[in-house]
Structure 1
Amino acid sequence: MAQIPWLDPSSILFPSPALALNDPNGLLAIGGDLSPDRILSAYRQGIFPWFNPGDPILWWSPSPRTVIFPEHLHISKSLRKVIRSGTYRVSFDHCFTDVMRACAAPRAYASGTWISEEMIASYTELHKRGHAHSVEVWKTQGENEELVGGLYGMALGKIFFGESMFSRADNASKVALAFLVDQLKVWDFKLIDCQVANDHLFSLGAVEIPREEFQQLLVDFARVAPNYPLHWSNLKPEDDH
């Protein structure tokens, strides 16, 4: 493996994403910390942390980059039927940390999680500052409502950086994404960053673009003044799909 720079703990600067490795794809730097300011600096440059808890922090900027253009989100007929059925209720920013913890929970297809306690603490602080947001999907169970799905990520300018999603009921995470994208369209968001590819994302309309194109989209849209509130908890998602 080529020599990867260690980050200066006293600085939140990163190497240029153009210096990221081809193998493993996108590895750019090691170390530093997960302070909110460092994470913000990373996202503004198209860099994100991804590592196993207990290991040094690894910072990535892969190419190609997996993204969803909001207008190209694919919602199947069956998913539209689920949304219109009223099976689920959707909210924004009502229990951000709970959504992160649900995303960190063990899954049948994964032996571990990259969402450490330190990461939860840092993103929760970013949520308090109005940068990180969650979408929650609720289902009535007897006399109570249960959190059965959701997602979280970061909003900078007109780009939403998706981090993780979870589902404890059929299609719950897809419902969360559908409602999120509808709201992002209202605010004229240009892009949803999905970081790395998987078949689930492709089924929803994700595509891969070169790092250079992604970096230009960051320049064009990540630093524009937001036309949306810092906190989304007062939003009332409408079933208009």
Structure 2
Amino acid sequence: MRLFGEYRSLDATSFKSFYFVNASPCPPVEEEAACPLIEEEEASRMANSNKSLLEGIAKLFNNTAHADVKIQIGQYELPAHSVVLVSQSAFFQKALSENFHEGNTKQFQFKEDSSHAHWRVFEYMYTGIYTQLPVQLLDTHDDDELVKDVRVYVTAEFFMLDNLKQLALERFRSKLEELWVSELLFDCIREIYASTTPLEVGLRNAVVEVAAVHRNDLWGKVAFRNLLRDGGDFAADLLGQFCSI
């Protein structure tokens, strides 16, 4: 009873102090340890689910099933799906959601530039990769081997596909290791500088670095000397590369 009396005589602040001093501490609650086996199974299920989803999207490429967009590439009409295009490209996010004529009709025409580059860009949107082989469905010749990835890169820039630009640049750099000896190199350099801005340095840096490494061999070619005599950004960038060595 004396203890009860003590409780009644305590104010709220004193009661809290009295209680927490005299009460037995509660045992800590132990968190349940995660089971590595369960986590591994969940990760495996997630990976299989993602793989199935990606495979399903890939099967929709050039497939009329559920297609609601028409893409005119040269003379070929490619069936497409707005949900895929919007999820991949900021260009199509705007074109299909705002008041553009093409967005309202869901018909897009890309008859200029490289038909094969456009095909490869749309193939990448669906599959995450693009073929190096000629596209038999198109009525034009495929691009030369050295400019094939260059044109994919430039087209990817138009559609705002940064990951595709990185892939195309990596492939182009890989080809340059062997094809720098080709006479096509000089036209390739001209095309790169004509189709990119000084801020878009990926392709430009690739050809400048190769030209700097192989400058002695390249200087023996008339086409290379003519390219330098033309001046312009390539000559300036190459000089800058020499100064940094």
**Which category of TM-score, normalised to the shorter sequence, fits these structures?**
under 0.3
TM-score (norm 1): 0.25
**Greater helix share, 1 or 2?**
2
Higher relative contact order (CA 8 A, sep 6+): 1
**Greater strand share, 1 or 2?**
1
TM-score (norm 2): 0.25
